[in-house]
Amino acid sequence: MDSIEFRVTDQEYGTGRHRGVLPVIDGVSLVVLARRVEEPAADAEGHPDLAGSYAPLVSEGLPREHFLGRPYLSWFDDGDTVLLGCTCGDWGCWPLTAMVRVDARFVHWSHFRSGHRDWDLGDLGPFRFERRAYERALTDAGLL
């Protein structure tokens, strides 16, 4: 079982200063987890700086259902949920997505994808969170 925290940030983006939300899984930021998996592909392309070049998702206007399997922001339009955005503040510029599935007891994150690269992110996740703890983390972050 994995643990989750939705860390609220106050961050400068290319579009100004905004409140963001950064998923932290088992004590490690999702940005760091993604970077570890993306590094080989980014290095192979000759662009190592692209690995993990995500930022907390700007949370202003984001409905609470977004992280509960009913995505407000979707890149592939197949039920995927955008979990991280670009460092410029525009989620569509460089999104990291996953399939978020919710059942009575658990919340599952799986099938991570980068919006602009066909990198193999199979080693990122899957993650499984106890639903009550997950919803408590959303509430603690002011998202539920």
Number of domains in the chain: 1
Q: Give the mean pLDDT of the chain.
A: 95
pTM of structure: 0.94
Q: Is the pLDDT of residue 40 over 90?
A: yes
Range of the domain at 127: 4-140
What is the average pLDDT across 10-18? 87
In which band, very low, low, confident or very high, does the pLDDT at 96 lie, cut at 50, 70 and 90?
Answer: very high
| Buried/exposed 5-22: b ≥16 CB within 10 Å, e otherwise | bbebeebebeeeebebbb
pLDDT tens, position by position, 47-83: 999 999 999 999 888 888 999 999 999 999 999 999 9
CA–CA dist 91, 74 (Å, integer):
10
